[in-house]
Structure 1
Amino acid sequence: MGFLSLVGNSFGCSASGERLVSAARDGDLQEARALLEYNPRLARYSTFGGRNSPLHYAAAQGHHEIVSLLLESGVEINLRNYRGQTALMQACQYGHWEVVQTLMLFNANIHRTDYLNGGTAIHFAALHGHARCLRLVLADYVPSIPNFLNQTNHRSTEEVSDADFDDDGLVKMVNWKADGGLTPLHMAALNGHVECVQLLLDLGASVSEVTIEDGTTIDLIGSGSTPLHYAACGGNAVCCQLLIARGANLAAKNASGSTPLMVAHSWHRNSIEEILSNEPGGQIRTLASPYLCLPLMSIMSIARECGWRYLNKSPVCIDPCAVCLDGSCSVAAEGCKHEFCTRCALYLCSTSYTSANPAGAIPCPLCRHPITSFVALPGTSPIREQLPRNSLSLSFCATCPAVSSDSAAPGGGHPYRASAELHCGGGMRMPPMGSSSFRSLSCQAMKLNPSFCMGAMDTNPCLIRCSRFGSSLGRSASHGEANRRGAWPVTFSPIVATSS
């Protein structure tokens, strides 16, 4: 009887967990809240094979309210699926900036790398061209000081007035190398994401970083390639001009002896050959990225310390926010001294295009004065309760195989894979999260092979290996890392890359 009761409890956990997964995927907030009130441990449920938690599904679909609900229930914010992807990587991949903002307010780890490609959330945002997500992920590295851009570009020896400014940490993050030595700048330049390229350059991305031959990637351009080589392959003229203006070397050769001009010629990018042929006459001035946001660090710190939601709404607000007329004013903009609620200030910093003087400041919605930082009002007190413990250890029934933690596999690897989830149109309600890989090529004009289909969100576009390159693109695992396998880590944008 004891054994049968354990088995019955196991089936009950799976059924309730699947209901929570469906609610997280479909955005049913009431259903998710009811299930978590009934059993808070369901937040740690994960699907069989893919190991995707409800947090992964909610993040991939952009349901930020359900993400907040799950985090408040004590779920581990840095849970991984079988690909090693966290919810932050999923949100950056699909461009859901509200989810990214919520995860960053709950102190998500941006240093985690996935198992297949060794890429961080910054790589996912740069690969798919989501500049808003990119600036939110790097919010804790960009200080709220007016002279930040001068400090970053000129590396001045003057001391910075903000003690939280970690210049070395910022440079390390924006130049983080995934497998094959690919930096976020390589990925953004290849796919023609001008906004991401401009923002990464303003944050200190190096134009001289080169790729390496590690045996795990299908390198179509060649090892030793700079971001300009990748921009030449992608064929975006604006990306090439930005890189050249920031000091990219037109004569740089990769391991195959190819310059950016030769790469452009081999990929039939005739429209940019003139740009890559002539050295620029004199120094070229470029405008600062409109996605560079200086006040973001200050408002994120205030929100974490004092809260950002309307917990106790009163019928009549004594000092309402001039933007939403709902919450009470809790922060003030330095300079013009206009007051806002924390929630509106967060929204302004996450969505507004910044002004040019000083670079990175957002215009005040009331007087258009540039805002470089926010300060908490004297009456604003820190929240008494701490943020939910993300390492909440809640034991599930011992016989339920669908509930697992990030450390379930020995050595942090993925313990199993379900081949049934890797096919499109197989009757599955939801394809596996993180189906797009750095090492996949999106070829629209090709007949899809079901054996290569990896599933995707909503429309199920298949990411397949390009058969044009044949079997000569074989590779072997590097440094004994058998868990990182896949195709070459790029995804061509159909707008930028044209079939040759």
Structure 2
Amino acid sequence: MKKTLALMLTALMAASVWGSEDTRMYLAAMKGDVAVMQKLIEAGADLNTPDQFGGPPLLNAAGTGEMEAVKFLLMAGADVNAKDKTGFTALHKATMGEAELDAVRLLLASHAQVDVLAHGVSPLMIAAQQGHLELLRTLLAAGANINLSNEYGATALMKAAEYGRLEGVKLLVDQGADMGRKDHRGQTALDIAQSVIVQKDGYPKVIAYLKEKQGRSTQGSIK
């Protein structure tokens, strides 16, 4: 329902303001209308040119989970690493989107760059915020840098801790995330989890887990 309403709103905006080829491609990609996209390409539409909304068609298809459109655009030569005006790639959009895992796997198989930062997040950081374990595993298996930090010094582990994602925190720690890494404020993942004002859901367990793991790490280093 949410997706349908978003598509309807976008269509109304486009119909009232824009009537260009780029807008038709944008809407076709969002709706997964491969037939329309094929006709537009045959008419000379550029697959990698940002439209009025700031993104190439592949990003729109990936973000709305239209797998057939994603497959079609990749086969037609769309740049898997193209960015929108804010710096997001199709892999970012897919990680946030509705198809998620299927779209992410397809983009990775098409050599999507996995460690691109935009708006302070990489695809791995987005998956960490969501606590999406299969996405985390898939991105790590594809070579995502588990300790990559953004312009504020935050890592995927810090994101998982910030959002109270216990299982995500466990997975990242087990895979080698640096629990002692500090952001630009001097805070570790544990500090960040403890600083959350409303301690609900998974936060107490995240805090207890990180304290336990850090305690073991400290004991091991003393020995």
TM-score after normalising by structure 1: 0.37
> Which of 206, 209, 215 matches 2:148?
209
1:453-485 C-alpha deviation (Å, 9 max, x unpaired)? xxxxxxxxxxxxxxxxxxxxxxxxxxxxxxxxx
Indicate the structure (1 or 2) with the bigger Cα radius of gyration.
1
| Cα separation, partners in 2 of 1:47 and 1:55, compared to 1, 3 Å | farther
Give the alignment of 1:216-235 within 5 angstroms: 223-235=152-164
Aligned to 1:62: 32
1:272 and 2:206 matched: yes
Matched with 1:97 is 67
Pair 1:196–1:64, CA change in 2 (3 A): farther
Letter in 1 for 2:70: V
CA apart distance, 1:52: 4.9
Q: 1:178 aligns with which of 114, 118, 129?
A: 118
Partner Cα separation in structure 2 for residue 70 and residue 49 of structure 1: 13
Deviation, structure 1 residue 49 = 9.3
Describe the SS at the equivalent of 1:208. Answer: coil
Q: Secondary structure at the match of 1:251?
A: coil
| 1:79 maps to which of 30, 44, 49 | 49
Check conservation: 2:80, 2:110, Cα contact below 8 A. Answer: no
Q: 1:211–1:224: 8 Å Cα contact kept in structure 2? A: yes
Separation of aligned partners in 1, 2:157 and 2:65: 25
Shift of 1:244: 0.8
Kindly state the Cα deviation for residue 68 of structure 1 after the two structures are TM-superposed.
Answer: 3.3
Are 1:118 and 2:87 matched, yes or no? Answer: yes
Specify whether residues 128 and 278 from structure 1 end up closer, same or farther in structure 2 by C-alpha distance, changes over 3 A only: farther
Query: Partner amino acid for 1:183?
Result: S
CA distance, structure 2, for counterparts of residue 276 and residue 191 of structure 1: 19
1:51–1:208 CA distance, 2 compared to 1 (3 A): farther
Measure, in 1, the Cα distance between the counterparts of 2:160 and 2:80.
Answer: 26
Distance 1:72 1:193, change over 3 A: farther
**Letter of the aligned partner of 1:205 in structure 2?**
A
User: How many Å separate the matches in 2 of 1:51 and 1:186?
Assistant: 34
> Unaligned 5+ residue runs, structure 2?
1-7, 218-223
Show the 5 A alignment for 1:69-468.
Answer: 69-115=39-85, 117-128=86-97, 130-141=100-111, 173-180=113-120, 182-212=121-151, 223-267=152-196, 268=199, 269-279=203-213
The runs of 5 or more residues in structure 1 that have no matched partner are 1-21, 27-44, 142-169, 213-222, 283-500
Cα deviation digits, residues 48-81 of structure 1 (max 9, x gap): 3998521110111222333334334432112312
Q: 1:339-362: per-residue Cα shift (whole Å, max 9, x none)?
A: xxxxxxxxxxxxxxxxxxxxxxxx
Structure 2 length as normaliser, TM-score? 0.78
Higher relative contact order (CA 8 A, sep 6+): 1
Instruction: Say how many residue pairs are matched.
Output: 199
- 1:96-153: per-residue Cα shift (whole Å, max 9, x none)? 11111111111111222111x2111111112336111111122233xxxxxxxxxxxx
CA separation of 1:247 and 1:60: change in aligned 2, threshold 3 A: same
- Return the offset for 1:179: 4.0
Contact 1:47 1:53 in 2 (8 A): no
Structure with the higher helix share, 1 or 2? 2
In structure 2, distance between residues paired with 1:194 and 1:55: 33
Kindly, what percent of the aligned residue pairs are identical?
29
